[in-house]
């Protein structure tokens, strides 16, 4: 049900019938999560590992959402400043970046493995495991998605689990 809502939303965005206010896409760490948000697209970097960045945008490309410093002069020049502007250079395909808005690329190894045959994570490095190198190997913890790291589980971590720091 949610998926079909998203599809409808995406279709509306695709046809340009509605433009949503820019949302903060940068917190989404996988292409899958990113593309579930209407108004967010994924820019895969050239590493061939699926690593990338979730950015506000449309099917045409990423939007520049940083609001420029407000003009000191009052007048009509200040009003278009908040409008997000398409900027293809933020995900330049001529240098092997790849913008996705509807479907994620097949290669999704979270930055921890090269892809072979377009989609297979050849060997998950940096203490990661899983089909998409999305988990830490046993005995390590962390969030390895999108190039994140895994650390050794320390005794202190385990003992601190029941404690609360009050401030
Ligand atoms: C967007 O989210 C990221 C990560 O959650 C955060 O670091 C950043 O400050 C947020 N930016 C804005 C403009 O809210
Ligand atoms: C578009 O994005 C590129 C890369 O982030 C940046 O260097 C450039 O200034 C931007 N163009 C505009 C018009 O803001
Ligand atoms: C770019 O991403 C699309 C999916 O959004 C995928 O079909 C295509 O193969 C990708 N291109 C490259 C060069 O990886
Ligand atoms: C890649 O594809 C080739 C040909 O289909 C196959 O022989 C090979 O085993 C595949 N490699 C992996 C890692 O899946």
CB 19: neighbour CB atoms within 10 A?
Answer: 13
Residue 73 lies in a domain: no
Range of the domain at 42: 1-65+83-105
Is 113 found in the same domain as 134? yes
CB 112: neighbour CB atoms within 10 A?
Answer: 27
For residue 120, which ligand has an atom nearest its CA?
4
The domain spanning residue 148 has which CATH number?
Answer: 2.10.25
pLDDT tens digits for 98-114?
Answer: 999 999 999 999 999 99
Residue 127 lies in a domain: yes
Is 35 found in the same domain as 96? yes
How many domains does the structure of the chain reveal?
A: 2
Gap between the Cα atoms of 132 and 112, Å rounded: 9
pLDDT > 60? residue 86: yes
For ligand 4, atom 8: residue with the closest CA: 117
What radius of gyration do the chain's Cα atoms show?
A: 20
| CA 24 to ligand 1 center in whole angstroms | 6
Is 31 found in the same domain as 2? yes
**The whole model's pTM is what?**
0.76
Is 90 found in the same domain as 16? yes
Ligand 1 binding pocket includes 27 (Cβ within 6 Å): yes
Phi, psi of 129 (to 5 degrees): -150, 175
Ligand 4 binding pocket includes 72 (Cβ within 6 Å): no
Is 101 found in the same domain as 37? yes
5-to-16, 35, 57, 140, 150 alpha-carbon distances in Å? 17, 13, 19, 37, 35
pLDDT tens digits for 7-25?
Answer: 555 544 444 444 555 579 9
For ligand 3, atom 8: residue with the closest CA: 105
CB 10: neighbour CB atoms within 10 A?
Answer: 17
Note the pLDDT of residue 67.
58
Gap between the Cα atoms of 57 and 90, Å rounded: 10
């Amino acid at each position: 049900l949610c998926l079909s809502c998203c599809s409808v939303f995406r279709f509306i965005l695709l046809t340009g019938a509605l433009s949503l206010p820019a949302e903060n896409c940068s917190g989404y760490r996988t292409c899958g999560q990113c593309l579930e948000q209407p108004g967010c697209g994924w820019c895969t970097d050239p590493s061939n590992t699926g690593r990338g960045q979730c950015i506000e945008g449309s099917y045409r490309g990423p939007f520049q959402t940083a609001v420029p410093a407000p003009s000191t002069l009052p007048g009509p020049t200040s009003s278009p400043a908040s409008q997000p502007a398409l900027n293809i250079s933020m995900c330049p395909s001529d240098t092997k970046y790849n913008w996705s808005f509807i479907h994620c690329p097949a290669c999704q190894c979270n930055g921890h493995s090269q892809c072979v045959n377009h989609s297979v994570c050849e060997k998950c490095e940096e203490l990661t495991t899983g089909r998409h190198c999305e988990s830490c190997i046993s005995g390590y913890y962390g969030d390895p998605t999108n190039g994140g790291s895994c650390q050794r589980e320390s005794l202190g971590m385990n003992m601190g689990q029941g404690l609360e720091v009050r401030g």
